[in-house]
Amino acid sequence: MKQQRRIFLKGLASSAGVLLAGCSQTEPPTYGNVLRMGDLLTYKAHRLLLPAHSLAREYDYSDISSVPAIGTTNPADPDKCPSFDAENGSAYERLLANRFADWRLVVAGSVTAPRGFSLDELKRMPSRTQITRHTCEEGWSAIAQWTGVPLRSVLEAAGIRSTARYVQYYSYDDWADGIDMMDALHPQTILAYGMNGRELPISHGAPIRLRVEKQLGYKSMKFLRRIVVTDHFDDNGAKGNIQNGWSWYAGI
Amino acid sequence: MPDPASTSQVAGHRRWVRICHWLAAAGFLTLALSGFFILLVHPRLYLGHAGNDLTPALLTLPIGNDLRPDKMQSPVVFTELPGAPVTAERNFPIFNQNGWARSLHFLAAWILVCAGAVYVAFGVVSGHIKRDLLPRGRELAPRALLQDLKSHLRPAVGSVGTGPPYGLLQKLTYASVMLVVLPLMVATGLTMSPAVAAAYPFLLDLFGGYQTARTIHFFGFAALVLFLLVHIAMVIATGFGRQLRAMTWGNPR
């Protein structure tokens, strides 16, 4: 649960953010905060020491467990969306009304062919089904089966440029986050539209949520809206983890 | 690197022991505090790989968030799956300070792990671990153990030194804290990291799953807090100021 995130460090961080805007950032900024320096150390140590191609544990069908849905459980309902915004909420409501037929996942940024993907289009692409553990920063975990299209396939379909270094993503409940290429191109990083053999429920991020299996649950963003490939690091300002007092890298 | 022959003659704690001790103390206190805050967010413990508000707990600690399943909304049952698992919504805010608590926990872990690595390296090379911490075979006789236990019940100020040689129970305690419990804390902590567990999946099998590792991590924390309390009690019993000076500045020759 991260609604308290926005409270932290906002004043300090936003002023520093202005100074850094436009700079060509190559790694997560720390804003002089010792906790963010520790996060950066952990991120760099993981990237240096851990093998790039390892897969997160995949479980058996019989291991599938009950799964709580937390944070936003419906972006159109102010009682179910701590970050509710009337404009985003009604946009999501309209999509929901015709079962996401008008939903498009916009893929833009450092790609040769920026475009929107419809849900049907994504479902027609080769899919991957994996039974993995969702590990929440709160301390609980749950095992579920996720079906979706590898993020890599979508990035390649949009013509990802060789200069690309990070993938940013944005949701209908007004969150913004990002991952590096190592996680973005990882075979288990999928845009999931199915859960436990059914359509992805609204509470779990319909029509599509990201699955980033080598990081904590909060990186697996629900209610995806837009993907932007960047050549530099973007902390997504006041909507991102860092300026809200959380680690951008959540592999630990 | 100290010369083992000369340092063994010096009463009190060697300089690298003192430096490692205080770094580890700072690291441990920070880990304990941040770990307590992390635990408050989800004070339920489980066995196995999965455990959450919708599954039975091994143990629910009477602290922090109270998240009974009946507070969750709109449950949906996956009837076609074995065991018919459910999903349900949590639509209320909970106490969560993990933004700073987690990052502080891992920062302190870096400090403790570095201090521990230096300690073990110096301890092996200088012979300190073998000479001062590991009990000799004959020391472990039941009568010797009983004798040492009895001596702990008498007032001891002034009669005990401020460094090695250590008593039998002292050796056993220090050796198990530094060579068993702390390494276990690091290993179970790493098992909880999704990236580390993906890279070294044997960790999940070794401890029996993410949640079992978390549960072991909690009991390790409880054991270390107990150690800290007894440790401080013993320091007070044998002269607080004297022991503190010896661990900080060393003994005057």
The string of pLDDT tens digits covering residues A76-89 is 999 999 999 999 99
> Which pLDDT score, from 0 to 100, does residue B158 have?
57
Residue B70 confidence class, pLDDT cut points 50, 70, 90:
confident
Q: Is pLDDT of A62 > 90? A: yes
Kindly determine whether residue B194 and residue A79, on different chains, have CB atoms separated by under 8 Å.
no
Residue B3 confidence class, pLDDT cut points 50, 70, 90:
very low
d(CA B215, CA A230): 40
Residues 6+ apart with CB under 8 A from B110: A38, A41, A42
Cα separations in angstroms, B212 against A31, B9, B205:
36, 45, 10
Residue A250 confidence class, pLDDT cut points 50, 70, 90:
very high
Lowest pLDDT segment from B5-19, B47-61, B190-204: B5-19
Kindly determine whether residue B89 and residue A69, on different chains, have CB atoms separated by under 8 Å.
yes
Kindly determine whether residue A251 and residue B194, on different chains, have CB atoms separated by under 8 Å.
yes
Mean pLDDT (whole number) for A186-194: 98
Q: Is pLDDT of B113 > 60? A: yes
Cα separations in angstroms, B132 against A1, A17, A195, B7, B171:
48, 53, 57, 12, 7
d(CA A42, CA B195): 11
For Cα atoms B222, B112, B211, give the angle at the middle one, nearest 5 degrees.
45
User: For chain A, what percentages of helix, strand and coil (3-state, to nearest 5) are there?
Assistant: 30, 25, 45
Mean pLDDT (whole number) for A107-131: 98
Candidate from A38, A55, A143 with C-beta closest to B110: A38
Kindly determine whether residue B55 and residue A46, on different chains, have CB atoms separated by under 8 Å.
no
Q: Is pLDDT of B7 > 60? A: no
> Which pLDDT score, from 0 to 100, does residue B159 have?
67
- What are the pLDDT digits (tens) for B225-236? 999 999 999 999
Residue of B nearest to A60 (CA): B82
> Which pLDDT score, from 0 to 100, does residue B161 have?
81
Nearest-CA neighbor of A181 among A60, A57, A47? A47
Start-to-end Cα distance in chain A = 17
Residue A171 confidence class, pLDDT cut points 50, 70, 90:
very high
Residue B201 contacts A where some CB pair is shorter than 8 Å: yes
Q: Is A122 helix (H, G, I), strand (E, B) or coil?
A: helix
Q: Choose, out of B63, B97, B107, the residue to mutate when testing the contact with A (most A CBs < 10 Å).
A: B107
Residue type (1 letter), B181: V
Kindly determine whether residue B99 and residue A252, on different chains, have CB atoms separated by under 8 Å.
no
Q: How many CA atoms lie less than 13 Å away from A175 in the CB half-sphere?
A: 29
Candidate from A36, A55, A246 with C-beta closest to B198: A55
Mean pLDDT (whole number) for A84-100: 96
Token pair, residue B29, equals 């206190």
Q: Report the complex ipTM.
A: 0.91
Kindly determine whether residue A69 and residue B88, on different chains, have CB atoms separated by under 8 Å.
yes
Q: Is pLDDT of A5 > 80? A: no
Q: Is pLDDT of A8 > 50? A: no
Residues A123 and A105 sit within 8 Å (Cβ to Cβ):
no
> Which pLDDT score, from 0 to 100, does residue B166 have?
92
Mapped to the 3 state alphabet, what secondary structure does chain B carry?
CCCHHHHCCCCCCCHHHHHHHHHHHHHHHHHHHHHHHHHHHCCEECCCCCECCCCCCCEECCCCCCCCHHHCEEEEECCCCCCCCEEEECCCCCCCCHHHHHHHHHHHHHHHHHHHHHHHHHHHHHCHHHHHHCCCHHHHCHHHHHHHHHHCCCCCCCCCCCCCCCCHHHHHHHHHHHHHHHHHHHHHHHHCCHHHHHHCCHHHHHHCCHHHHHHHHHHHHHHHHHHHHHHHHHHHHCCHHHHHHHHHHCCCC
> Which pLDDT score, from 0 to 100, does residue B68 have?
74
Residue A23 confidence class, pLDDT cut points 50, 70, 90:
low
Kindly determine whether residue B81 and residue A64, on different chains, have CB atoms separated by under 8 Å.
yes
Residue A6 confidence class, pLDDT cut points 50, 70, 90:
very low
Residues 6+ apart with CB under 8 A from B157: B237, B238, B239
Q: Is pLDDT of A124 > 50? A: yes
Chain A residue numbers with beta carbons less than 8 Å from the beta carbon of B195 are 46, 50, 214-215, 251-252
Q: Choose, out of B98, B107, B191, B207, the residue to mutate when testing the contact with A (most A CBs < 10 Å).
A: B98
- Classify the C-alpha dihedral B102-B104-B105-B107 as positive or negative: positive
Give me the residues of B, 58-87, that contact A with CB < 8 A: 72-74, 76, 78, 80-83, 85-87
d(CA A92, CA A173): 9
Mean pLDDT (whole number) for A95-123: 98
Mean pLDDT for chain A?
Answer: 92
Token pair, residue A142, equals 């749950």
Residues B112 and B28 sit within 8 Å (Cβ to Cβ):
yes
d(CA B44, CA A25): 40
Residues A16 and A36 sit within 8 Å (Cβ to Cβ):
no
Task: Write phi, then psi, for A116 (nearest 5 degrees).
Answer: -105, 140
Mean pLDDT (whole number) for B196-206: 98
Q: Is pLDDT of A248 > 70? A: yes
Residues B38 and B101 sit within 8 Å (Cβ to Cβ):
yes
Mean pLDDT (whole number) for B128-151: 89
Mean pLDDT (whole number) for A16-38: 78
The DSSP bridge partners found for residue A227 are A107, A169
Residues B132 and B170 sit within 8 Å (Cβ to Cβ):
no
Q: Is pLDDT of A218 > 60? A: yes
What is the Cα gyration radius of chain A? Answer: 17
> Which pLDDT score, from 0 to 100, does residue B129 have?
95
DSSP conformational letter for A160: B
Kindly determine whether residue A138 and residue B41, on different chains, have CB atoms separated by under 8 Å.
yes
Residue A207: asked if its preceding bond is cis (omega within 30°), the reply is: yes
Q: Is pLDDT of B157 > 60? A: no
Nearest-CA neighbor of A29 among A224, A178, A217, A227? A178
Distance between A20 CA and the closest CA of chain B, angstroms: 22
> Which pLDDT score, from 0 to 100, does residue B5 have?
41
Chain A residue numbers with beta carbons less than 8 Å from the beta carbon of B88 are 66, 68-69
d(CA B125, CA B157): 32
